[in-house]
Amino acid sequence: MRKVFAIALVIISGISMAFAANDIQNDQKNEGEVIAMNKAMFIKDVFDYTTNSEVWKYEGKKPAIIDFYADWCGPCRQTAPIMKELAKQYSGEIVVYKVNVDNERELASLFNATSIPLFVFIPMEGEPQIFRGAADKATYEKVIQDVLLKK
């Protein structure tokens, strides 16, 4: 009986380590990429507004940018390549998400995204900062440096 228990324990440990390794690989795989975000991911990785809508508490491990966009939006299409460049440039330092406002209306309303593109800059501590409209790469870099990385 002990032998069966020991074998089962080894198997369970192996499975647990495989899942943990897979989580690490998934995190590393997304490094330097813009990550499409839905409501479930937002609640898990950013802020669970369903349990506490009064006090902002960022759940992320790195500062983040959330790009609220739509496929039909011209300025959104202009800023998308900039966000990709910034995700690569600041890989390992920040996370860049994108949220399609047509698919994720609840998240869009959470940040009052009545005009797009809308960018939410989320530092590790403090309140998120909202930036409305398209800008050049240098403008976003300044916000990353001043608000997210505080350099």
Tell me, letter by letter, the H, E, C secondary structure of the chain: CHHHHHHHHHHHHHHHHHHHHHHHHHHHHCCCCEEECCHHHHHHHCCCCCCCCCCCCCCCCCCEEEEEECCCCHHHHHHHHHHHHHHHHCECCEEEEEEECCCCHHHHHHCCCCCCCEEEEECCCCCCEEEECCCCHHHHHHHHHHHHCCC
Q: Which of 46, 76, 107, 120 is catalytic?
A: 76
Q: Which CATH number fits domain 31-148: 3.40.50.11540, 3.40.30.10, 3.40.50.970, 1.10.3210.10?
A: 3.40.30.10
Q: What is the pLDDT of residues 83-116, one digit of tens each?
A: 999 999 999 999 999 999 999 999 999 999 999 9
Please state the pTM of the whole predicted model: 0.80
Is residue 15 part of the annotated active site? The answer reads no
- Annotated catalytic residue: which of 37, 66, 73, 86? 73
How does pLDDT run across 29-48, given as a tens digit for each residue?
Answer: 578 999 999 999 999 999 99
> How high is the pLDDT of residue 36?
98
Check if 7 is active-site.
no
